[in-house]
Amino acid sequence: MPEHVHHAMSTVVLTIGPAHTLRQAAQLMSARRVGAAVVLDPDTSGLGILTERDILDSLGAGQDPDRERAHDHTTTDVVFATPDWTLDAAAQAMTRGGFRHLIVLDGPEPVGVLSVRDIVRNWSNTKVPSNTKVPAAL
């Protein structure tokens, strides 16, 4: 039986406005331990996504995170998932589109965000007991 997006998605949906600075967005994302923020633009009634990669690209280009606004770094051509998509369909959409996060909509409202990490975590059959040390990455 295939697993569905609603089994793996994070229901912590960080929503920011287009006027947030990249520093503000990064601080909020860090505090909530998420890799993406849903950008809601009330002027256009549109949803977009700002990811940690977008912030990293801006910093790497030498841009000032206190002056750069989320709006200028938001992806607005977004592929949305629904909670009843299979994880396989979500993974295929991510692979085709070259992105690592999907906004999950139930009707017009964002109800979750699905990341590649969420999919891997769900597909992993390995359960590590809490007292087991996990080897450091190579």
pLDDT tens per residue, range 31-50: 999 999 999 988 876 899 99
**CA–CA distance, 12 with 42 (Å, rounded to integer):** 20
CA distance 22 to 127: 36
- Per the CB < 8 A criterion, the answer to whether 74 and 54 are in contact is yes
What is the reported pLDDT for 76?
A: 87
Q: What average pLDDT score do residues 79-101 get? A: 95
Percent of the chain residues topping a pLDDT of 70: 88
Cα 99 from Cα 83, distance rounded (Å): 18
Note the pTM of the prediction, 2 decimals.
0.82
d(CA 27, CA 42): 22
Q: How much is the pLDDT for 94?
A: 96
State mean pLDDT over 80-96.
96
User: Residue range 73-80: average pLDDT?
Assistant: 91
- Listed in sequence order, the residues at least 6 apart from 131 whose beta carbon sits closer than 8 Å to its beta carbon are none
